[in-house]
Amino acid sequence: MPADRAATGNESALRYGPVGLGELAMTAFLSRLFRPPRGDAPAWIEVDELQRRLAAGDAIVLVDVRQPEEFTAPPGHLPGAVNVPLADLSGRAGELAARRQPVVVVCKTDRRSARAATELLAAGLRDVAVLRGGTDGWHRQGLALE
């Protein structure tokens, strides 16, 4: 290859190389952003969807992972929820799995319940979801709490 063509090729590589790297980085970022959730990542359920499923009579185990004093304090907890504090959850995962029903994990917001759902998935449960917004979100929509 003549020297002048080689110089032009190197010049192009220097000029367009960063663009290619930028495109590669953007592709990697977007593929992570839009990929389906990992098998060990909990699913999320919106307040209105959970309310609709409960009203339809779907068999769902509602697990509230707050401390007992939070569970019983105003404004309350979701109707039918079972209180299993986050610290006790690993010891009761087998009990929840034995029920063979979908589990929706709830807390005040959704931070503790997201950790709890991840713990339940790691323990082998498969149909686990986190209530987005927790009891705060449920209450904001004017739905009944016990």
128 alpha carbon, distance to own chain's centre: 9
Side-by-side strand order, sheet with 103-106: 43-45, 128-131, 103-106, 61-64, 82-83
132 burial (CB, 10 Å; 0-12 / 13-18 / 19+) is middle
Residue 94 has pLDDT above 60, yes or no: yes
* pLDDT at site 52: 96
The confidence score (pLDDT) of residue 39 equals 56
Helix ranges (H only) for 34-88 are 47-55, 68-72
User: Residue holding tokens 């930028």?
Assistant: 22
pTM flag (> 0.85): no
pLDDT at 132 exceeding the cut of 50? yes
